[in-house]
Structures are given as C-alpha cells and as structure tokens.
Amino acid sequence: MDLIGLIDSIKLPVEIPLLLHPVTVHFAIAIPVIVMLLEIVNLFTKRKCVGVISTLLLLLAFGVYFAAVMTGKHDGSETFSLLNADGKAELKEHKMLGIYLLYGIGALFILRLIVAAFQGMLAKLFFIIVLAIFLGFVFKQGKEGGELVYTYGANVKAVSAMDDKIMDLEDKLQSCKSSLNTQTTSSSSSSTATTLSSSSEASSSSIQTSVAQEKSSSSAKSQTSSSQATSSSQSSSAENLMQKAQKALGQIKGMASSAQEAVSSALQQ
C-alpha cells in the first residue's frame, strides 16, 4: 500500500465536526515557525532545554498535522461537489501536499532526535536548513488553502448557501420549462381544433350561401318563367278579343248593308 493510500484508509472512530480544519492549520503553520526560531536562538545560547522544547513541539506538530489531514479530508469531501473543475484539481493537489507534509513533520522529528544525539554545530545548521525548506512547503500549502477558500469558495457558508439557491432556482426553472412546454402543446392542440372548427364553419357557411344563391336564382328563374307565361297568355287573350271584335264588326256591317238594301227596295215600290 502506498503512503497516500495509507492515510486515506485511516478511519477515525469519532465523527469529525465540519469546518474544524481551519483551526488546526493555524497551529500547523505556527508550530514549525516557533521551532525554527528556537533552533536559531539555540545556535547561540546552546541550552539543552531549548532543544528539548523544540523536540517536544515537533512531536506536538506531528499530532496537529495528522488532525489537519483528517479534518481536511472531511471538509474536502463536503465541498468537493460544489467546486468547479479548477477548484477540484486545486483541492486534490492541496490534499496530496498535506499528506506529504504529515510525513515530512514526522521525518523532522526523527531528524531532530538524531541532531540532539550528535550535539554538533553543523548538524544543527543542517537541521535548520531542512526545517526552512519544510516551512517553504508549509507556506505554499497555506497559500493554496487560502485560494481554495477565497477564489473557489471552498467551505464558505455564503457560497454553499448560494449554491443551494442556484440549485433550487434551476429546479424551479426546469419545472417552469416543463409547464410551458405542456401549455404550448395544449395551446397548439386548441388552436388546431379552433382552426378546424372555423374551417368547417366557413365551409358550412359557404355551402349555405351557395344553396341560398341557387334557391334565389331558381326563384328568379321561376318568376321570370311565370311572368313570361303570364305575358304570353295576356297576348293571346288580346288577340282573341281583337278577332271577336273584328268578327262582330263584320256582322254589324253586314246587317247594316241588309237594312239599307231593304229601305231602298221599299222606297222604290
């Protein structure tokens, strides 16, 4: 099992409170700085008690770094899903460096014991140089942790609350879109039915208009035919009357001629 997997496999029997990681990392930065100052002072004072204090502080620092890694794992698992792609990559690098620093502080504690056994100036200088390099990585880790918080909003309550609001708004937007699609579909169906109904009504109206026009034209035709028939019947009646009048006039003329002949014959006698 690799060193990273070894730390990841550790499960604590107690539940770790959320947002305890920022508290532990302050001590994780402060303790090595104090050890560095003590070691520099001890170069000149050469007091054994200072060396003992420095060694005990490194042992305490190992426990603090272990707590920082455990609390960082817990906080990181809570905020990982809320970060973007860059934030997730930054968090993974932060976790890896934190685990390496945990092993590094353990190595510093062992190195301090070795330096205490030699009690030489060169050994103390070598330890101070190694401790300075270690502090450089500690400060880098602190800077990356600040970027996770201030740039990506890791474990920031306001950002988490805003993410929750955004997710709620996205859910509401999705439901509104679904409702809008449903209403659009029903409106399309209703407009189609209305169009079909209007078309059928228009067709029915046009048919009724055509029928009415045909009726009126046939009525006009029938009226024209009846008037023509009436006119023809009146013309024939007039002709009959003229014929009868001419016939009666002829008879009157004949009777008048007969009467004149009778008068003339009577006068001659």
Q: What single string gives the DSSP state of each residue in 166-181? A: HHHHHHHHHHHHHHHH
- Quote the pLDDT of residue 45: 83
Amino acid at 118: F
At 172, give phi and psi (nearest 5°).
-65, -40
* Distance in angstroms (rounded) separating the CA atoms of residues 21 and 19: 5
71 within some domain: yes
Residues 6+ apart with CB under 8 A from 90: 83, 144, 147, 148, 152
Q: Which domain holds residue 104?
A: 22-173
150 within some domain: yes
- State the residue for tokens 């990392």: 25
pLDDT in tens, the chain (269 residues): 476 777 777 777 777 777 788 889 999 999 999 999 999 998 888 888 888 999 999 999 999 999 999 998 888 888 777 788 888 888 889 989 999 999 999 999 999 999 888 878 888 899 999 999 999 999 999 998 888 887 777 665 545 555 566 667 777 887 787 778 787 776 666 666 565 555 556 555 555 665 456 556 555 455 555 555 555 555 566 567 677 767 766 776 677 666 566 655 655 55
Could you tell me which of 173, 63, 42 has the C-alpha nearest to residue 116? Answer: 42
122 within some domain: yes
135 within some domain: yes
**Dihedral angle of Cα 226, 232, 236, 238, to the nearest 10 degrees:** 90
Cα–Cα–Cα angle for 65, 67, 73, nearest 5°? 105
35 within some domain: yes
- Quote the pLDDT of residue 249: 67
- Quote the pLDDT of residue 158: 44
231 within some domain: no
14 within some domain: no
Reported pTM? 0.57
48 within some domain: yes
Domain count of the fold of the chain: 1
